[in-house]
Amino acid sequence: MIDGLYAIEIDHEKCKGRLACIRICPTQAMRYRKSRLEINPVLCIDCGDCITECPEGAIRARTDPWDTLKRFKFKVAIVSPVLFSQFPRTITPYDIVHGLLAMGFDAVYDLSLESEIYFKAVKDYLEEYDGPLPLISSNCPVVIRLIQVSYPNMVEQVTPIQPPRDIAARTVKKKYSERFGLKETEVGAIYISPCPAKIAAIKAPAEHAASYLDLALGIRDIYNPLLLAITKVKGASGAEKPVLPRDELRSMLYLNLAITGGLSHALQQKRFISVAQLPNIENIFGDIEKGKIKNIDFLECFSCTGGCIGGSLTVDNRFVALSKLQKVIEFIEREKRNVDEIMDEHYQKGAYFLEKPLKPREIVHTESLSIIEQIERVKKREDFFRKLPDINCSLCGAPTCEAFATDVTNGTAEPEDCVLMSDRKMKELREFYRKQVEQKKKKSEE
């Protein structure tokens, strides 16, 4: 009874038709028709807003189960900086690294080096770029997909640089396969992710190339076993400061990557703005398309409030998490090595571009209409829309009266699906929701 897309799956048994998801969906990809939730996979951008919004817990993130890790001879956890903000303040990043090792990972790899590389690659690209401005950050997969679906004109403005997690996966596979005489496929690059979008981005990268990452686990999914492992490790080593498996966790910039404004540290001389949350992003993208945004070089975008720290697979309250991460940043800043020195050693100019160019997502039309027919359709839709109450009650199963008018014109809904246009629909809904209420009553009495 489960179906779904790359990022999410629906449990139809649990769905009670409460319509919260179809109202929140930023691309209007969801419909509730004939007592069943449908998602248009072409429009879904993997944001996970529906997961957070569903009051019944009927929509889940697709994550990889722990067992799928067993196929690798050497398992490397590549950790999102968000992970370090999710535990009580007494648990340090060092404890978390050791917890992951105790859990069964063979190595833990943070993104400090790759973040520096990413920042430098973005800066280099911006320096030589002469296309339309602003350039847009490539770190949040939801933003990339939103552009592909709703702002196809702007794909060329996405910085075509691989995000740090992908650069890291490439490094990890090479490094450990060489060190232990393994094939690269035997080294598992496993991302510890704050959101379903980054998991989906591994399975189906926006640029249609293969990701170097093999799998991803949600922070929420490994939280309890990890906390248990950390407690055990801490107990065993007593008050001693654990030794680090490698000299990671040195970079302050790395941790900033999870927070809005993080990239500004790398692009200090540039005209930079940072925007979070999809409605705000859509607002500014609309302005960019109109040519209203004129004097901005770089636009950092995060789908989630506050940045990745607000991802739907996190555990802690995002504001508390932010405060904790800032403390970790202060702690680590004191140990920072000279970044220029490190870059001289590792950075290869031009080596971090996306494997393939980003293109708009193809919205497949089942029929090809002439321009005259299409304009006729627009008129028909406007005529029908004028008959609707424009109150966006969503009872027809579409998020807005506008969306419903489009559905009717495209033939995927009937005019009678509107409760204000048909007594039949009203009666159907009354029966359906009465049943739901009775079930709820029964449950509470039990």
Shortest distance, position 294 Cβ to other proteins, whole Å: 8
3-state secondary structure of 328: helix
Shortest distance, position 442 Cβ to other proteins, whole Å: 45
User: Residues 379, 387, 427, 434: which binds other proteins (CB under 8 A)?
Assistant: 379
- The site map against other proteins for 286-315 (x = CB under 8 A) is xx-xxxx-x---------------------
- Using CB under 8 A as the binding rule, whether residue 406 contacts other proteins is answered as yes
DSSP lists the bridge partners of residue 36 as 33
3-state secondary structure of 217: strand
DSSP string, 261-281: TGGGGT-TTS-EEEEESHHHH
- Using CB under 8 A as the binding rule, whether residue 386 contacts other proteins is answered as no
Q: Which is nearer to other proteins, 178 or 383 (CB)?
A: 383
Neighbour tally for 15: CB within 10 Å: 19
For residue 30, give the amino acid letter: M
Task: State how far the Cα of 376 lies from the Cα of 373, in Å rounded to an integer.
Answer: 5
Task: State how far the Cα of 95 lies from the Cα of 326, in Å rounded to an integer.
Answer: 18
Shortest distance, position 149 Cβ to other proteins, whole Å: 12
CB under 8 Å to 408, separation ≥6 — which residues? 381, 384, 414, 415, 417
- The site map against other proteins for 251-290 (x = CB under 8 A) is -----------------------------------xx-xx
- Using CB under 8 A as the binding rule, whether residue 381 contacts other proteins is answered as yes
Shortest distance, position 159 Cβ to other proteins, whole Å: 20
Shortest distance, position 160 Cβ to other proteins, whole Å: 19
User: Residues 4, 360, 385, 421: which binds other proteins (CB under 8 A)?
Assistant: 360
Q: Which is nearer to other proteins, 330 or 376 (CB)?
A: 376
Task: State how far the Cα of 214 lies from the Cα of 220, in Å rounded to an integer.
Answer: 19
Task: State how far the Cα of 194 lies from the Cα of 78, in Å rounded to an integer.
Answer: 12
- Using CB under 8 A as the binding rule, whether residue 357 contacts other proteins is answered as no
**157 in Cβ contact with 300 (< 8 Å):** no
User: Residues 375, 416, 430, 432: which binds other proteins (CB under 8 A)?
Assistant: 375
Q: Which is nearer to other proteins, 34 or 290 (CB)?
A: 290
Task: State how far the Cα of 260 lies from the Cα of 280, in Å rounded to an integer.
Answer: 13
Task: State how far the Cα of 71 lies from the Cα of 364, in Å rounded to an integer.
Answer: 37
- Using CB under 8 A as the binding rule, whether residue 371 contacts other proteins is answered as yes
Give the rounded distance of the alpha carbon of 196 from its chain centre.
5
Residue whose C-alpha is closest to residue 402's, from 411, 412, 392, 393: 392
Which range binds other proteins by CB under 8 A, 29-37, 42-50, 322-330, 367-375? 367-375
Which range binds other proteins by CB under 8 A, 100-108, 173-181, 228-236, 375-383? 375-383
Shortest distance, position 295 Cβ to other proteins, whole Å: 9
User: Residues 224, 323, 374, 436: which binds other proteins (CB under 8 A)?
Assistant: 374
DSSP lists the bridge partners of residue 188 as 75
- The site map against other proteins for 222-251 (x = CB under 8 A) is ------------------------------
Q: Which is nearer to other proteins, 335 or 373 (CB)?
A: 373
Q: DSSP alpha helices (H): ranges in 239-394?
A: 252-256, 278-290, 318-333, 339-346, 371-386
Which range binds other proteins by CB under 8 A, 10-18, 91-99, 346-354, 371-379? 371-379
Residue whose C-alpha is closest to residue 137's, from 19, 315, 6, 281: 281
Shortest distance, position 377 Cβ to other proteins, whole Å: 8
Size of the site for other proteins (CB under 8 A): 21
Tokens representing 23 are 């109202």
**27 in Cβ contact with 44 (< 8 Å):** yes
**361 in Cβ contact with 148 (< 8 Å):** yes
Per CB under 8 A, residues contacting other proteins are 152-153, 286-287, 289-292, 294, 360, 369, 371-372, 374-379, 381, 406
